[in-house]
């Protein structure tokens, strides 16, 4: 309550004082009713990703995706309390968001207010290098094409000037004051970070599901008077793009078993330009189908991939990690990270996976028109257009030498 009062004091300096005959000064209101998701839209996560338990909003962290408000917000104070339940947990809240996952991933645009558990840097070392501790203390940054100017630059991100976040199982409090493209963030009772000149200044709130269980409580908003925000600085309404055309969210995961995907099993080879490509898929065993991918140019390998289709509850997830050939087999992804895609469509020898991150493919389609053929289409976003690369394979019966 003290933290809310402090945030209110900051916000009320921006609101005209009430006098006799005028409407009272607005106060904080709850964004959740404590029972269900009324007022929110489950954009692209599972039915059981978000649920209430003992008055807390509990997010399982799986699959990757967002839960977004039905209402847009322009100028406001957002009060939110959160705690990670797993070491290295990853989450955040997007503000001024379009609430629509990009075609290159399962996350929307906006300004992300990041929520990371304190062990995240230690669990995400790259080539033996530990990421900066600034990651876990409330960084702010634009995503999905939204640009901002950081108060305390760490590249394009803004890092907190003081480390105040708490670790697994402990409650953290964020107070986010957002006015006319400027955001100031208080972490556990002290303002320590900010951005300005956001290119998007009105949009939705989105809570992020990203791999680990996280709890939320006391999510409240104090709405402030509107400002001079143009249509170009406003997120389009849910279900449309900026031209007003229908634009649905990523498809939700479907129920399926790995046995329904057993037709991918086997050894496959093909050509992609001047490169020889190969994939070797195992049979479904112990809740997974695993594969190796190798790309060869001339007499040298250029890329390795480890792929796994895993049973996750009643659905199937495709996980991918990339490796550079040579000493160390250096991974593009962090030690405990993979690029994940949920199965969203399954037909006769056809499977469609959607997901990943904003920097990875949004859709991967497997199609086997006959037992001797496997085609894999990978869709990406380039220069504002959707581009598909098709990997065409034929079954082989002897291993590569």
- The structural domain count of the chain equals 2
210 with 347, same domain?
A: no
Please tell me the distance from the alpha carbon of residue 86 to that of residue 90, in angstroms, as a whole number. Answer: 9
138 with 59, same domain?
A: yes
Q: Is residue 219 part of a domain?
A: yes
Tokens 């029972």 locate to: 35
pLDDT, residue 386, reads 64
Domain ends where: 216, 233, 250? 233
Domain of 139, in residue numbers: 2-233
| pLDDT at residue 17 is higher than 60 | no
Contact 97, 40 (CB under 8 A): no
pLDDT, residue 102, reads 63
pLDDT, residue 375, reads 96
Contact 323, 275 (CB under 8 A): no
How much is the average pLDDT of 243-256?
63
Cα torsion 364, 366, 367, 373: sign: positive
187 with 320, same domain?
A: no
pLDDT, residue 272, reads 93
219 with 352, same domain?
A: no
pTM: 0.62
Q: Is residue 243 part of a domain?
A: no
| pLDDT at residue 72 is higher than 50 | yes
The DSSP secondary-structure symbol of 264 reads: G
- For residue 63, cis peptide bond before it (omega within 30 degrees of 0): yes
74 with 136, same domain?
A: yes
Determine how many CB atoms are found less than 10 A away from the CB of residue 232: 9
Contact 366, 346 (CB under 8 A): no
Determine how many CB atoms are found less than 10 A away from the CB of residue 128: 7
The DSSP secondary-structure symbol of 379 reads: E
| pLDDT at residue 241 is higher than 60 | no
175 with 322, same domain?
A: no
How much is the average pLDDT of 70-85?
97
Please tell me the distance from the alpha carbon of residue 77 to that of residue 182, in angstroms, as a whole number. Answer: 12
Instruction: Please spell the DSSP secondary structure of 87-146, one letter per residue.
Output: TT-EEEEEEEE--S--TTSS---EEEEEEE-TTHHHHS-BTTBPPPGGGGTT-EEEETT-
96 with 225, same domain?
A: yes
Please tell me the distance from the alpha carbon of residue 69 to that of residue 80, in angstroms, as a whole number. Answer: 14
Q: Are strands 203-209 and 65-73 parallel, antiparallel or unpaired?
A: antiparallel
CATH number at residue 351: 2.40.128.20
| pLDDT at residue 3 is higher than 50 | no
148 with 204, same domain?
A: yes
153 with 283, same domain?
A: no
Query: What does the chain come to in residues?
Result: 401
φ, ψ for residue 361 (rounded to 5)? -55, 145
Contact 81, 236 (CB under 8 A): no
φ, ψ for residue 13 (rounded to 5)? -65, -15
Bridge partners of 56, per DSSP, are 53
Q: In the structure, what pLDDT confidence band is assigned to residue 21 with cuts at 50, 70 and 90?
A: low
Determine how many CB atoms are found less than 10 A away from the CB of residue 242: 12
Higher pLDDT, 337 or 73: 73
Q: Is residue 245 part of a domain?
A: no
Determine how many CB atoms are found less than 10 A away from the CB of residue 178: 25
Contact 302, 324 (CB under 8 A): no
Find the largest Cα–Cα distance for the chain.
87
pLDDT, residue 369, reads 93
Higher pLDDT, 153 or 356: 153
């Amino acid at each position: 309550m003290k933290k809310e009062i402090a945030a209110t004091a900051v916000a009320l300096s921006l609101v005209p004082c009430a006098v006799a005959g005028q409407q009272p000064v607005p106060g904080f209101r709850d964004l959740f009713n404590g029972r269900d998701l009324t007022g929110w839209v489950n954009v692209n996560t599972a039915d059981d990703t978000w649920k209430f338990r003992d008055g807390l909003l509990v997010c399982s962290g799986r699959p990757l995706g967002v839960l977004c408000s039905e209402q847009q917000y322009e100028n406001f104070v957002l009060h939110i309390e959160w705690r990670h339940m797993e070491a290295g947990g990853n989450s955040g809240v997007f503000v001024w968001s379009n609430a629509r996952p990009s075609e290159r991933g399962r996350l929307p645009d906006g300004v992300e207010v990041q929520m990371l558990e304190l062990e995240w840097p230690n669990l995400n070392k790259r080539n033996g290098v530990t990421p900066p501790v600034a990651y876990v203390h409330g960084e702010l940054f634009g995503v999905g094409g939204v640009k901002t100017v950081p108060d305390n630059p760490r590249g394009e991100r803004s890092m907190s000037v003081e480390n105040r976040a708490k670790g697994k199982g402990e409650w953290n409090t964020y107070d986010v004051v957002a006015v006319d493209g400027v955001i100031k963030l208080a972490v556990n009772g002290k303002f320590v970070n900010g951005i300005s000149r956001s290119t998007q200044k009105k949009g939705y709130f989105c809570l992020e599901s990203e791999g680990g269980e996280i709890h939320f409580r006391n999510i409240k908003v104090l709405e402030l008077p509107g400002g001079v925000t143009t249509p170009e600085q406003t997120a389009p309404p849910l279900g449309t793009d900026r031209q007003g055309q229908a634009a649905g969210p990523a498809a939700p995961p479907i129920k399926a078993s790995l046995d329904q995907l057993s037709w991918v099993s086997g050894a496959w080879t093909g050509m992609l330009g001047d490169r020889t490509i190969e994939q070797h898929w195992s049979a479904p065993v112990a809740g997974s189908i695993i594969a190796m991918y190798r790309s060869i140019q001339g007499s040298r390998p250029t890329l390795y991939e480890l792929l796994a289709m895993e049973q996750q509850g009643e659905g199937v997830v495709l996980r991918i990690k990339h490796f550079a050939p040579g000493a160390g087999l250096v991974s593009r992804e962090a030690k405990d990270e993979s690029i994940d895609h949920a199965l969203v469509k399954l037909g006769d020898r056809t499977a469609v996976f959607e997901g990943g991150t904003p920097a990875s493919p949004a859709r991967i389609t497997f199609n086997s028109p006959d037992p001797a053929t496997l085609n894999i289409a990978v869709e990406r976003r380039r220069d504002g257009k959707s581009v598909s690369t098709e990997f065409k394979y034929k079954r082989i019966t002897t291993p590569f030498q």
